[in-house]
Chain A
Amino acid sequence: MRASESFLRRRALWGSFAGGCLLIAAASSVFVTLGIVYVLVTESMGFFAQIALLDFLTDTQWTPVFENAHFGVMTLVSATVTVAGIALAVSIPAGLALAIYLSEYARREVRETVKPCLELLEGVPTVVYGYFTLLFFTPLLQTFIPGLEGFNMLGPGMVMGIMILPYTASVSEDAMRAVPSGLREAGYALGYSRFRVAMRVVVPAAFSGITAAFILGMSRAVGETMVVAIAAGQNPNFSFNPTEGAATITAYIVQMAMGDLPHDSIAYQSVFAAGIVLFVITLTFNLIGFFLRRRFKEVY
């Protein structure tokens, strides 16, 4: 039997139409990136026409709405780095321990129960974590650390560390489980304990995958907004002291967006200048993480 000519023509037409639509859908993701870069660059052009790049990068004050305005982005970066650093300090040891436990120790049933629970942790809206940090976790910390301010970087950093834990742990665990079992068996055949196999064989073999997990986790911590906007305060403060409050890049953007800034004001443009810094930092981490992960996948 032969399909009718007209049907085949129609089929070819629909096929190319559908293919075209799918291509447009795939290309849309590229347009999103282009749009982001375009907006960040054009909107901050006016800003960099007035503020020298050197001042932007070296000044340690950020006072955009003052009479004598200063735009030292390092003020915001210092808080961003401090909070993300605390998050990583919590997340690296905890995530690694959890990943080793899940990949090397836990039985399959345990793993399959634990992973969905971790995913639930990831599903909590960040504004809820912000509320929790400000009104529950910080007061709790204050009973141990008397000098802790109501807005501080320690609490948000620690909560964020747990918040990114499901992500870092599951990415590292995937990397560890991708290590061929032959390598593990070689270790066991030498009489290694599980712990030794984990530390001497699996972790080194999965190193680039694990590194990728923490770099991507770092990128998330840097870009996280609501927890810091609520609980770390909105006062630009060049400080690496975790007991003080300070505005991160993201908190600054939120703060400015809540006020009604005129479109062409320098304060409005400064939001996009801060956005560029944030975008470049996270882009760098994301790309490093992407290529580390990809290289890891190629090896195994």
Chain B
Amino acid sequence: MTQKSFHDQHVTQLSPKTEPTPNTQRESLAAEVRKLSFWYGETQALKEITLSIAYRKVTALIGPSGCGKSTLLRSFNRMHDLYAGNRYSGEICLFPENHNLIDLDPFMVRLRIGMVFQKPNPFPKSIFENVAAGLRIQGVQNKKLLSDRVEQALRDAALWEEVKDRLSQSAYGLSGGQQQRLCIARALAPQPEILLLDEPTSALDPIATAKVEDLITEIRHRFTVIIVTHNMQQAARISDFTAYMHLGKLIEFAPTGELFTTPQETLTRDYITGRFG
């Protein structure tokens, strides 16, 4: 409840153009990355990244392939810990507690931070059970609570109207775009503190992409979202802040409008004007 008023206070105040750099806005942050480095075995994929994630805003990570944007995103819910030989140094602090999530148990981190992957990956179960999966994993058994949350999440993911009559059917019967929105609903149902989207529209056609973008715009006032995208127009359309990465380094981070209109770095300028990438 306190967070709600907290948010209301800031929503009018923060508009991308006039906003001061996010670093000074500590109390409005959902998380802060401090000097984060990451290694796949011997290969360093992230080099001392420092970045703030604004509370209930959309932050986009862009950059050419191999720049480390997905690696950074997957660090937020410690997906790298699933595979041997990966190593972090530095911090990702979650607010308001100011806990470094690199030091927390990865399974606990993932209970708090949701993720949607490049390719839709629903479970081979019913639509209802897919959305309820995260809640069941947290031990929720109350039927009423489950069905309320599932409905809410499906509404948030703009899928409710399409599936409300066939919640018990297999998720594999949905189209690709619907499956991806189902995965978003699945991630939203446990009400994560941060929602990670890893190129969520790269496997979708333009119409399905538009639907996903619309829903992100709808939920942005209630969830903190970090999105990796290789599509600059998408970043410009839906994000409040954009970070440009190159070869594992954070080159530039600014409110989206500024970054796209007046980039400060040559590398950023070259990338957004299409000289490479």
Contacts and interface: CB of A to CB of B under 8 A. Distances in A.
For A2, A3, A10, which residue has the most chain B Cβ atoms within 10 angstroms? Answer: A3
B180 interface: no
Interface string B184-207: 000000110000000000000000
A8 B109 CA distance: 13
Give the interface size bracket for A toward B: under 10
Contacts of A11: 139
Interface string A1-39: 111100110110000000000000000000000000000
B139 A3 contact: yes
Nearest to B134: A1
A2 B139 contact: no
Contacts of A3: 111, 138-139
A1 B111 CA distance: 9
Nearest to B108: A8
A7 B191 CA distance: 18
Contacts of A7: 138-139
B112 interface: yes
A42 B139 CA distance: 52
A2 B139 CA distance: 10
Interface string B122-151: 000000000000000011000000000000
B235 to A, nearest CB: 29
A1 B139 CA distance: 12
A4 B112 CA distance: 12
16 contacts: A1-B138, A1-B190, A1-B191, A2-B111, A2-B112, A2-B138, A3-B111, A3-B138, A3-B139, A4-B139, A7-B138, A7-B139, A8-B108, A8-B139, A10-B139, A11-B139
Interface of A: 1-4, 7-8, 10-11
Given A3-B139, A4-B139, 14 more contacts: A1-B138, A1-B190, A1-B191, A2-B111, A2-B112, A2-B138, A3-B111, A3-B138, A7-B138, A7-B139, A8-B108, A8-B139, A10-B139, A11-B139
The 7 closest A-B pairs by CB, nearest first: A7-B139, A3-B138, A1-B191, A1-B190, A3-B139, A3-B111, A4-B139
